[in-house]
């Protein structure tokens, strides 16, 4: 397994960030300072990224509602964007019984599960 080199180690590092090392990778790491440093830096960067949003506090529902209402007020009081729903014809009548499918349609229907 002497063919395992820095190139292979970097490929493996990209997959798992060095959390889980293959025996060949561990063996390479014991002899290669460059790859050991690379793994250390990659893991430090991964830890930093995983904490990047830790100080974010989501707004309370009340604060969010107030913000939305304020934004709506700022758009202009009195104007409305409400689109009325289309009128439904009251004379439309559903068929009393399902219409029989055309000849041959039953064969194309997928099997019930
Ligand atoms: Zn190396």
- Give the 3-state secondary structure of the chain: CCCCCHHHHHHHHHHHCCCCCCHHHHHHHHHCHHHHHHHHHHHHHHHHHHCCCCCCCCCCHHHHHHHHHHHHHHHCCCCCCCCCCCCCCCCCCCCCCCCCCCCCHHHHCCCCC
* Ligand 1 center–CA 84 separation, angstroms: 67
pTM of structure: 0.47
* Ligand 1 center–CA 107 separation, angstroms: 63
Question: Which residue's entry shows tokens 């529902």?
Answer: 61
* Ligand 1 center–CA 90 separation, angstroms: 77
Give pLDDT tens digits for 18-28. 678 899 999 99
* Ligand 1 center–CA 50 separation, angstroms: 26
Per-residue pLDDT of the chain (113 residues), as tens digits, is 458 999 999 999 988 776 788 999 999 999 999 999 999 999 999 889 888 888 888 889 999 999 999 999 988 765 566 677 777 766 666 666 666 666 665 555 566 65
Q: Between 6-16 and 33-50, two packed helices, what is the crossing angle to 10 degrees?
A: 20
Give pLDDT tens digits for 36-56. 999 999 999 988 988 888 888
By the CB criterion, residues less than 5 angstroms from ion ligand 1 are: 6, 32, 35
């Amino acid at each position: 397994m002497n063919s395992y080199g820095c190139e292979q180690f970097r490929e493996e590092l990209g997959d798992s960030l060095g959390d889980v090392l293959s025996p060949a990778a561990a063996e390479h790491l014991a002899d290669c300072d460059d790859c050991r440093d690379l793994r250390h830096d990659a893991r430090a960067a991964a830890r930093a990224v995983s904490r990047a949003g830790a100080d974010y506090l989501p707004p309370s529902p009340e604060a969010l509602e107030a913000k939305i209402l304020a934004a709506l007020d700022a758009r202009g009081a009195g104007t409305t964007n409400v689109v009325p729903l289309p009128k439904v014809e009251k004379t439309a009548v559903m068929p009393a019984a399902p219409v029989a499918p055309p000849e041959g349609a039953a064969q194309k229907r997928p099997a019930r599960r």
